[in-house]
Amino acid sequence: MVTPFALDPQQRAWSEELRALAAERLRPLAAAGEPGRVNRPLVAALGELGLLARLFPAGRAPAGASEGPAPDAVRAMDLCLLRESLARECTEAETALALQGLGAYPVVQSGSARQRARWMPEVVAGRAVAAFALSEPAAGSDAAALELRAEPDPGGAGDGWRLTGEKTWISNAPEADVYTVFARTGQAPGSRGVTAFLVPGDSAGLSGRGLDMLSPHPIGTLTFDGVPVGAGDVLGVPGGGFRVAMRTLDLFRPSVGAFAVGMARAALAAAVAHTGERRAFGGPLKDLQAVSHQLAEMATRTEAAALLVYAAAAAYDAGEPGIAARSAMAKLFATETAQYVVDAAVQLHGARALRRGHLLEHLYREVRAPRIYEGASEVQRTIIAKELYR
């Protein structure tokens, strides 16, 4: 097994370029957006700057990319570098990019030529907002317990369904232009009866509402009241939807860890700067052993998290075995580490970090959700434990 444990010069240069773009071009657009709503100017800028094209390179890889198995989809390492670099400077831009990838990657991996031609140019250009609609009120961590029904359409041509039920905790809902929706098409229990559909946001019978969440990114519920879908809307094959979902999550789980690493690095940098300047008890805070040891622990855990993320991404790109466990380890350790580092940075700053608009106040709200979405920490531990016995 050969995986890199350090970024090469091209990858480091690309990461710095991404950070500069995020700080100079994307952060002002993010600041002008409304919390909890899709920021379409920001998504459009991601398209104009070519960052969304990095998610779906169609055979064109960014500088520093290693050879990977899928010519029409992003390499895991590139996705991780994108998310980490953007997160260090602008979490809103990182999340907007990641949600485009999560919502549209099933189209890349399982969509028909017609589906790709209809939606991918719009998604890559930042003109269409995509969403991944898996979770339901009674099916969060237990994704195989989906209840959204896809029933045969009595008024159709025999190859159509009507979607009835509800989705919730869906990022970009209810404002997305297109949804990857997972519904139950058969009586088979668990994951075997699930089918993935591509559903336009303006479909008849589809409605939704936003949810007011701690995290500032858009999230909401969707209600399906007999939404019509046909055979041409299926992603992959009927009954194969759970595999579509899991393949997507296997790619994106390490990159959730990269998002977390980006936030941890930003919090650590803020803590180092503050403790070097802030004076108390006759000198700078950094000279207090309790403070310097705290910073050392934060830095060590952050570096360890980054290495786990990079190793998981490199293994995915190389087609190595054990991807599920490595992805789970990366997401678990990185998100738990980011929570610790951000919290410790807040403690070192004191009350000023809790003031609305402070970087750490923003990160404190952002850092909590990744330990839950795309598989909670407890789910990641379950995956890791099961893989030990394979």
Residue 71 has pLDDT above 70, yes or no: no
Strand 219-230 and strand 279-280: the pairing is: unpaired
Per-position b or e across 78-111, b if 16+ CB within 10 A of its CB:
bbbbbbbbbbbbbbbbbbbbbbbbbbbbbbbbbb
Catalytic residues: 374
Query: Which of 207, 241, 275 is the C-terminal boundary of a domain?
Result: 241
Q: What is the CATH number of the domain that holds 77?
A: 1.10.540.10
Between CA 322 and CA 305 the distance in angstroms is 18
- Tally of structural domains, the chain: 3
Q: Does residue 95 share a domain with residue 177?
A: no
pLDDT tens string 296-351: 999 999 999 999 999 999 999 999 988 889 999 999 999 999 999 999 999 999 99
Tokens for 7, please give them. 């970024």
Would 347 be classed as within a structural domain? yes
pLDDT at 73: 64
pLDDT tens string 194-203: 999 999 999 9
What is the domain range of residue 77?
Answer: 9-125
Between CA 182 and CA 177 the distance in angstroms is 16
Would 1 be classed as within a structural domain? no
Q: What is the CATH number of the domain that holds 215?
A: 2.40.110.10
Q: Does residue 382 share a domain with residue 273?
A: yes
pLDDT band (50, 70, 90) for residue 193? confident
Percent of all residues in the chain with a pLDDT value above 90, rounded to a whole number: 76
Would 2 be classed as within a structural domain? no
Residue 135 has pLDDT above 60, yes or no: yes
